[in-house]
A = this chain, B = another copy of it.
């Protein structure tokens, strides 16, 4: 039998990782102000000294900077190291292959198990996509939408697995780079618009309780988005 050597994760390391994730996903956008040390120590339920140590780490990584007596997310984030075996295109292919394997059946199950209450909730979320959204706002709502649909499958094991896929989709700074690098604003708007259209088709299949239509809608949505991500950018 084998034992895994015990790992030690310090409090400040955990804080740093959580903040790092929020920076790379855009939840803490470049140029935004980082909450104060006192506020973060309350939110994380730790001592201020632990928060300080974590922020020192982010400072040394160049992800945040001090201007005056405030802490800010760096305007220009340094490249965050990615797995050396995985180019961007390979990563996107694998991520979407994984989504097809899991999202199509999970969403189809959810459609077949929808009821009036869950349908109402989905309609409400879809309505929030209307109007102008920043990329960050869109991505937050995007995840909320996918999570809500998936939870309708009623199987906590599948929901947990799917949440890990969403973690991959929504935490990678690489994804944001793919979406925005060298793209003009109108191209980003177009990607968001296409995604929102796909969500409406998915929501309709969900509310119709139609697993077959749902499977088709998700397949089409995933193909559209994957193509958008890999489409060459303007020179």
Contact = CB atoms under 8 A, between A and B. Distances in A.
Interface of A: 1-9, 11, 14-15, 18, 22, 27-28, 40, 43-46, 50, 94-95, 97-98, 101-102, 105-106, 109, 155-158, 160-161, 164-165, 168
A105 B102 CA distance: 9
B155 A98 contact: yes
B155 A97 contact: yes
Q: Does more than half of chain A's interface fall in helix, strand or loop, or is it mixed? A: helix
Contacts of A8: 11
A3 to B, nearest CB: 4
A7 B4 CA distance: 20
A25 to B, nearest CB: 10
Contacts of A157: 94-95, 97-98, 165, 168
A5 B97 contact: no
Given A94-B155, A165-B157, A18 B4 contact: yes
A4 B155 CA distance: 24
Contact of A45 (B6, B160, B164): B6
A44 B95 contact: no
